[in-house]
Structure 1
Amino acid sequence: MKLIQDITPLCLSAGILREFEEYLRQEERSVNTIEKYARDLRAFFYFVGDRAVTKERVLAWKESLVVRYAASSVNSMLAAANSFLNWAGYPEYKVRFLKIQRGVFSKPEKELTQSEYAKLVKEASKKGNERLSLLLQTICATGIRVSELQYITVEAVYTGWAEVNCKGKRRMVFITDKLCRLLKKYIRKQKIRTGSVFITKNGRALNRSNIWRDMKALCKRAGVKPGKVFPHNLRHLFARRYYSMEKDLSRLADILGHTNVNTTRIYTVESGETHAKQIGRLELIIT
């Protein structure tokens, strides 16, 4: 274990950070989490410079983040720093997260509607990008994370379910009959014999940046605002649709792979417009 007071920016990036990343790997944290923590910690190290780390300097870094980032982003960066400080043996230097009141309604400018989702799928098909059309439908019809797309394999399609391993948790994801039929047809057409269904021309699994870029390219022609179009919003749409039909938050949490039901609540928040219409249907205005 290193003493934080002896850390310099050079040895942080070359040594301590590497040791901490290895610790996170041993803890079976996801690749994305490790990369995110490393990125946030580099910002923290840069702020501290060659000075000794103290509680006051950690608080000063927190204050500098507050004026530049949204509260949720600040908290995610503080999580990285707190985890590092705890690992390094200085838990007394950890700082509190910002308090964020849970939103009652989602922001209309961020919520992807079902009709907008349909426009994106149709535009992908119109452009002849069958892979993208099916990819959008696969994420939205299963509720998986974009990082879990790799588990939608030829074998999974032919059995009707995929075993997903994410963040140290395994869960079963069902692939509907209708989606299976579409994917089987695509698999035969592309002559994919085994492994991931969604691959590049070189046979490699699609990564997040490939998918993000392809989705953004649909926005203008489909008439959907770019701020609404990103892979995770398809997962949110799945969650809202499921909850509107079943009203079973615990089951939805299991389907999405959430340990905490409070995380699932965020996914089921609807727009204020939807709530206003529901209240209007109460028909309590007399005159």
Structure 2
Amino acid sequence: MKINDFKKWLLNQNLSENTINAYVYAVKEYYSNYKKIDKEKLLSYKGYLIEKNKAKTVNLRLQGVNKYLEYLEESALKLKFVKIQQKSFLENVISNSDYEFFKNKLKKDDNLSWYFVVRYLAATGARVSELVSIKIEHVEQGYIDLYTKGGKIRRIFIPKKLTKETKVWLNNMSRSSGYLFLNKNGEQISTRGIAHHLKELARKYNMNEKVVYPHSFRHLFGKNFISKYKDIALLADLMGHDSIETTRIYLRRTSEEQQEIVDKIVNW
């Protein structure tokens, strides 16, 4: 087992910390059940995953193991992913009214650091792992360029109105450099720290915790953008999707919206 060397190899692949941790976890889980790697044991591990997890989790684990096989130069042993049945609706996405309520509450309570966390998630479509990488210097230039899988550059634009508002906030705190979002110790905030505190804020304001999580605001960005500007290829680029098929989900309505339409229309 060469976990540490594998981790170093992954670091050179321009992968996010969350992805690396997920891949390493998968390999450790495999070795906790099997002593060596061969096709029979790999298939057995896949069966174990299918029995215990949802399809999305299964594929994430398999992706990690496949990366490890690539590292070992055993690509012929790679496992096929399981098919994910796509839902015909978006689920657990914060509504525009709840988003407005949330950010207005934060602003009224002068909780500006978290007001801007919520604003940046919803107005840029950034993943939380991308959000924590934004620096004040990026606010100044109006965008951040990030390297993604395969060495591609993903540019996240910061809207002019949000840039202007952020500069006023930063000026009032006499901040001119470094990471935009900090923890209590003045260090770069973690993705886990953001997710955890958003749940605390949801409870404080009696909001539905199921819709207050980082990716929910990214979904809101996608949903709102496609409703105002019908260019799905552009949205795919803005969100960093490899395939337009992934972006098509934003053409769908949320389950709540579907229910509302059915209740309004069906009278027979």
What TM-score do you get using the length of structure 1 for normalisation? 0.83
1:103 aligns to what? 87
Closer, same or farther: CA 201–248 of 1 in aligned 2, 3 Å:
same
1:24 aligns to what? 10
Q: Does 1:176 align with 2:162?
A: no
Secondary structure at the aligned position of 1:122 is classed as: helix
> Which residue among 47, 59, 63 is the counterpart of 1:75?
59
Secondary structure at the aligned position of 1:194 is classed as: coil
RMSD of the TM alignment (CA)? 2.5
Q: Distance in 2 between matches of 1:214 and 1:280?
A: 35
Deviations 1:222-279 (A, max 9, x none): 2322222211111111000001111211000111122221222245542244346668
Which is greater in Rg?
1
Q: Does 1:162 align with 2:119?
A: no
Q: Distance in 2 between matches of 1:156 and 1:141?
A: 15
Deviations 1:74-106 (A, max 9, x none): 111011112212332333432221112222112
1:265 aligns to what? 248
Deviations 1:170-206 (A, max 9, x none): 2433322321232111101111021222223543221
Closer, same or farther: CA 273–203 of 1 in aligned 2, 3 Å:
closer
2:33 aligns to what? 47
Q: Distance in 1 between matches of 2:157 and 2:37?
A: 49
2:112 aligns to what? 130
Closer, same or farther: CA 80–151 of 1 in aligned 2, 3 Å:
closer
Offset of residue 64 of structure 1: 1.5
2:98 aligns to what? 116
Closer, same or farther: CA 201–284 of 1 in aligned 2, 3 Å:
closer
Give the letter aligned to residue 143 of structure 1: G
Give the letter aligned to residue 227 of structure 1: K
Q: Distance in 2 between matches of 1:97 and 1:66?
A: 10
Q: Distance in 2 between matches of 1:260 and 1:59?
A: 28
Give the letter aligned to residue 227 of structure 2: S
What TM-score do you get using the length of structure 2 for normalisation? 0.88
Deviations 1:114-154 (A, max 9, x none): 12222322333344321001110111111112222245333
Secondary structure at the aligned position of 2:52 is classed as: coil
Q: Which moved more, 1:265-274 or 1:54-63?
A: 265-274
Closer, same or farther: CA 181–101 of 1 in aligned 2, 3 Å:
same
Q: Distance in 2 between matches of 1:89 and 1:176?
A: 44
Offset of residue 29 of structure 1: 2.4
Give the letter aligned to residue 243 of structure 1: I
Q: Distance in 2 between matches of 1:272 and 1:32?
A: 29
Q: How many residues are paired up?
A: 266
Q: Does 1:203 align with 2:189?
A: no
Contact 1:153–1:195 (CA under 8 A) maintained in structure 2: yes
